[in-house]
Structure 1
């Protein structure tokens, strides 16, 4: 039996929190373990629940929380708990905050208009260490990511070794270092070394930008 994904829901509207609970109750592998209705409460809950036995696996964070801005809290969470996935929820158009949220370290960005299957899929993906982005957000990111220094000089296949290209392809699909290590029968440290080389050679800064770099490459922008 797979491990239950423990989720903290941070939203100032009770009806939204109840709705999310109802949606996630349909997923046997996901459990809402706590809720927060304002910024300070969200910070307290994360600090209490992000470590030790029974710790949370994912934070669902509304971008417009009272008493403390959601993006400000995102920065704090990533500073204090860099490995804790934070999935941003928003009612705003993707164009306003999606790219900024992901650059601050969010593991994904989901509009509250998304259907229940998409929310469940997003939680599962970020809990595994992946990055969740919708096609519309992918387009925004693709247009915002600057080309690396070698972008116009050589195709990506010519700049990476065979193994680096394997890791590049898997990272760009949202797979975590641990998942890649298992599939390629490598240690996580070795995969992390390949990842660092890939980021350097492509001129991007993180896995989100790498995924969008791959989108640009596959669309024939080399």
Structure 2
């Protein structure tokens, strides 16, 4: 049996090179294609069949969650494993709901990553104990869920950028939206989370590990 054909999508060449080296030492996994942004991911997915897509959720060209949905629309049977610098609290549940079959952080060791890749490639699902707990919490009655889980994917994306210190104009440019649209998102975020200002959002994000302290500026 030949090696599983892996499409690796990450905007950092050093990460791709490291993963290629790791997989080169296995008997069953091989990186056959690479993509450095969302546009390249779509092109590569359409170009041929793959056994597994390993996807960084934060790449230029398209929102990671939107990209997962687009890939699943194009290739419903393609297993997706998200490999992200973001901790599970930040995006894991949303990525799984979007269609990913697993979520692993870049802090994970090689053996765990290979285990997750094999499991997902063979039709399984990989979630850590922490992610399983987060998913269980998301099933609680509406009155007991955390406020940030009520946000839409776009609102959550804007929320994440706001608490990291990005201004409305900067966010609008990054997401190719109008400043007015971003302002509307901000208003809805504050309303849904029942908070009065950005400072409260930042404190909430830090308290619930939804932002990496090193990302704040």
Match for residue 111 of structure 2 among 102, 117, 120: 117
How far the C-alpha of 1:49 sits from its partner, in A, is: 2.0
In the other structure, the counterpart of 2:12 is 13
Partner deviation per Cα, 1:17-47 (whole Å, 9 max, x = no partner): 0011111122110000010111111110011
CA distance in 2, matches of 1:138, 1:49: 33
In the other structure, the counterpart of 1:31 is 30
Gap runs ≥5 in structure 2: 142-217
Residues 1-222 of structure 1: pairs in structure 2 closer than 5 A: 2-50=1-49, 56-146=50-140
Normalising by structure 2, report the TM-score. Answer: 0.63
How many positions carry a matched residue from both structures?
141
Gap runs ≥5 in structure 1: 51-55, 148-222
Specify the SS of the correspondent of 1:34.
Answer: strand
**Native 8 Å contact 1:27 1:120 kept in 2:** no
CA distance in 1, matches of 2:38, 2:72: 15
Partner deviation per Cα, 1:158-215 (whole Å, 9 max, x = no partner): xxxxxxxxxxxxxxxxxxxxxxxxxxxxxxxxxxxxxxxxxxxxxxxxxxxxxxxxxx
Specify the SS of the correspondent of 2:81.
Answer: strand
CA distance in 2, matches of 1:124, 1:6: 11
CA distance in 1, matches of 2:63, 2:140: 28
CA distance in 2, matches of 1:138, 1:27: 28
Partner deviation per Cα, 1:109-134 (whole Å, 9 max, x = no partner): 11011111111111110111100111
Normalising by structure 1, report the TM-score. Answer: 0.61
How far the C-alpha of 1:3 sits from its partner, in A, is: 3.9
How far the C-alpha of 1:145 sits from its partner, in A, is: 2.3
**CA RMSD after TM alignment:** 1.2
CA distance in 1, matches of 2:87, 2:106: 10
CA distance in 2, matches of 1:138, 1:23: 27
Specify the SS of the correspondent of 1:130.
Answer: coil
Q: Which runs of 4+ in 1 moved over 4 A?
A: none
